[in-house]
Structure 1
């Protein structure tokens, strides 16, 4: 899955020695990636060898093992033959005991005082994941490394600022008293983040009170206000996910006049009612009538252009837009390019709540072509080779035949794999569920192309369609929508098996007016675009019914966002669920549906 924490470390100049040093370190690690990986595994086992989970598998032989002096190949062989592959369900009983206050070394020798909570928007439920000091350190390290590579392509000015649209959420305590919240929230509360803020305070538009308010709508308003106030100093715009940037500027279209008034008067809208945030923002801004008039003039022109080029017009010195733009974020690229104008879009790095994985070493490439060079010191990685059962028809990800996992040094160009992680934070041979393809190599470490989540999301009977399958189908249908001058704002889906035959429902929120005939054509095009063999056969035999396309009213997906935020998710980690069985979300979607169309008989 895509990264769970945002960018927070920035370059000062193209000749920064610190950037050269961290790139040199990474290049050396990549040259000897296989050896570095074995040493990483050795360090993890030395650190955590006596924990309960590993004792379960090593048994009595653990007392006779000398991990420090064991041959590298023998160590890898012993580990992979003794410790089984695991899912989150296998580790969850141990994590739950930690959450309930068990102080014994269950997964790590390092005390776990914090648990990260996944967003739950990928597979429908939130999961606890151990978060330690190592998690924050690797987060800071990958930010520094990514910033160093970006600075070679897009150097930024000394003293420049960043419009950083980041949002913390509230932490809560488990039964055992452990702080729990999203990975972003933990990072913002960490000592590493505080040190970063102190060292680069002059670079960030928003103070800590805005980032950590816990109310993303109020934070967003203040981010935009301060970003405009420092508009000539802003070097780039960033957020964790592309969705957050699109959402922010969609809101800007409605609030720009109020923002201009605050800049003109040096005031703050009454919509900001958190005292600490009001005080912090009012200490920064001051009346600036000329800037307000300039922004007003730009906005009046941009309105006539449907806000095309908004970012490049309002932030004239910005070099690029930086965010996660792969996976489920690909849908937002079109709108993001619309807002960015001619500014480059730079894809951020690859990781998950469980571990960081790879860095974008080619920031000049468009997001569609981005790959991620694996950082061999962060975790010990294994890769499960995936092969299609038949070559003569499309097979879904869950139809793939698996081979035995291989170490990082044995992966092959062009091969698809599922990633397996062994981390310093207590996850052992953990199946992440991400499918990647080896697109090349950086020195001796693979460069990965994110393909999709392995979890199958749409199924009625023998049909199996993934998020990537759905994305391709929606793209085909939305092309007809675009020809009619209408924008697809967002989408999700549901496999309805309450009535027989079961069928797929795709929910669209659109911007603009469109005839029902066009929607019917979109629906038929999508139905015909599913190429999964099981779906094609089932549609021909009517064991799956016609595709249903539901058009929902404006603002429906914002209501879904509000639902997730209200249940503990952070704006900086939110991803629209591309398929859902959540009854609350389905109720929102169905209540907000204003039009339904169906595809015709299949084949």
Structure 2
């Protein structure tokens, strides 16, 4: 059985199951692949590679099935979206399409999913319970204040829903009717989580979390960015929240009836004393450690702080008052992958143990990161050559210290699909390898769920330059994800010179603001949604730097060991030294004055 059943409250049984899965990783992986191929061998997609042979089905698959990216499988998924039968890709009915945060042509990628996948995700979430219970005592004696949100849904022409993976899970019967084991109890009512207005949802979830502050043992959200957005919201609205607690009412602007009624039931009348306590904490001289002061029994903060979310660690540490930051899982729209079985480790040491029953995993080696980005980029083209295919290894054959790109084959209809994640093998737990997340292939900027590639950025900058730069040349540019404010925002550093002389450029404020807006308009669907609907990214900023700044940047890189012959301007800067050089030469700062347009358009439009 690929989805074992067990009682999450039974910590010993859960930990034993984890031991069994990781000890038998190779055998389970072979069973997974055999089950996927046997189940789906008659699908249109697989039939063209397996030639109807059932004897050597796994060998046939590895020899003949191509390693693909999204553009390769998009036509098959699009046909299902348009109304064709699921059996193009999957023997099981495809019940929904999950929208990935990565995009294609400005629209979300669509990933096939089945009813069984919700059971697989529920199993995955249940596996987190014994792991946390092993490391943290007494979690069954209180509640978690987890801030969970849904995103807009799209109806495809076939009538299937297309929505983010977490929205799918929170709206599922598995989530709504989850067994309320003591660990599972959270302060947020389902009706507040399922409110589509993120501001009303945030307000009511925080209100419920404040009212139940004496019971809260852990805080969290899925991503660090979302959690810090909630902290900022709390800072901005604490007076209003305290007024509601004091009077036992909910602010008049909370118009969603489910949100309002669920918050009122938890408020359960006025509480002057609690309101005064919370208000006094917020009125203290410093907000440092405010989370620990408001929720004094909290044992840890559960947020993903790996990958692009690592940029939020300093801000989280400021607010948290020394609470451990726990990254418990590694998952995506395509598949849920693995758990952090040492959850109290430092964020920089987080590794994920892949669960071998979640999907069939393969790994394409990429060049060692000690040579920085240049060699990795050379391994990150979209085409996997025959030579590369021969180098692909299975889950138990990866080597400690090596870097790999993850390839998955899922029960729901993805076959040898390149997820785009670069991972480093850090060790093994029994026979199952452990990986640290290094980066998303080709992504240079990310604040929230957005993933902007170098190509996306270049297209947007080029468009802005063509349409709005009058009398000036853009000689060089780079970018930076600025998370020093909440929400974070994109910063572009532009070096501009007049077309006809070498004098310092005369900067027209409206022209530069129009450039900012044009860049945003050209960025993809997810970025524009985060700016417009979710408000999880702030206004894009262009900082114009003085002439010669990028020469100074090159000199700095060479002084740090870069080769003169191979140096190229980084399209995103991360090092403090490089950022210091750029910021010290800023001669003008400009922000977008409007949010970019975004509509949850149907996928056929």
TM-score of the pair, normalised by structure 2: 0.75
1:28 corresponds to which residue? 20
Listed as ranges, the gaps of 5+ residues in structure 1 are 1-10, 67-73, 464-471, 479-485, 541-545, 570-603
How far apart, in 2, do the equivalents of 1:474 and 1:455 lie?
15
What's the counterpart of residue 48 of structure 2? 56
- The equivalent residue for 1:246 is 228
Q: What is the CA-CA distance between 1:490 and the residue it aligns to?
A: 2.7
Residue equivalent to 1:284: 266
Q: Is the 8 A contact 1:347 1:366 kept in 2?
A: no
**8 Å Cα contact 2:14/2:127 also seen in 1:** yes
- Unmatched 5+ residue regions in structure 2? 1-6, 381-387, 445-452, 459-477, 500-515, 521-536, 571-580
Deviations 1:57-96 (A, max 9, x none): 123xx1x424xxxxxxx65432210211111111111111
Answer yes or no: is 1:65 the counterpart of 2:45. no
CA contact (8 A) 2:49 2:61 kept: no
In structure 2, the residue matched to 1:399 is 378
Corresponding position: 1:380 with 2:372: no
1-structure distance, mates of 2:73, 2:206: 41
Work out the CA distance in 1 between the residues paired with 2:106 and 2:307.
16
Which of structures 1 and 2 has the larger relative contact order (alpha carbons within 8 angstroms, sep 6+)?
1
Distance 1:510 1:104 in 2: 40
Pick aligned residue for 1:368 from 343, 348, 360: 348
Provide closer, same or farther for how the CA distance between residues 551 and 23 of structure 1 changes in structure 2, counting only shifts above 3 A: farther
Paired residue secondary structure (1:433): strand
Equivalent residue number for residue 490 of structure 2: 492
Query: Hey, what does 2:529 align to over in structure 1?
Result: none
Partner of 1:452: 439
Q: Please name the residue that 2:309 is paired with.
A: 329
Structure 1 residues 175-254: aligned runs within 5 Å: 175-196=157-178, 203-254=185-236
Paired residues of 1:523 and 1:547 also in contact (CA < 8 A): no
Match of 1:86 in 2: 68
Calculate the TM-score normalised by the size of structure 1: 0.75
Tell me, yes or no, if structure 1 residue 295 matches structure 2 residue 287: no
The change in CA–CA distance for 1:393 and 1:272 in structure 2 (over 3 A counts) is closer
Alignment length, in residue pairs?
A: 507
Asked if 1:275 corresponds to 2:280, the answer is no
Distance in structure 2 (CA, Å) of the matches to 1:330 and 1:221: 26
Provide the residue aligned with 1:588 in structure 2: none
Cα distance in 1 for partners of 2:315, 2:104 equals 22
* Pair 522,194 (structure 1): closer, same or farther in 2 beyond 3 Å: farther
Corresponding residue number in structure 1 for 2:474:
none
- TM-superposed CA distance for 1:201, in Å, is 10
Three-state SS of the structure 1 residue aligned to 2:88 is coil
1:39 matched to 2:31:
yes
Q: Which residue of 1 aligns with 2:300?
A: 320
Cα gap change, 1:526 to 1:124, in 2 (>3 Å):
farther
Cα distance, 1:181 vs structure 2: 1.1
The aligned runs of 1:335-354 (5 Å cut-off) are: 335-354=315-334
Q: Per-residue displacement from partner, 1:40-62 (whole Å, max 9, x unpaired)?
A: 10111121111110011123xx1
Alpha-carbon distance in 1 for matches of 2:164, 2:219: 22
Structure 1 position 319, deviation (Å): 0.7
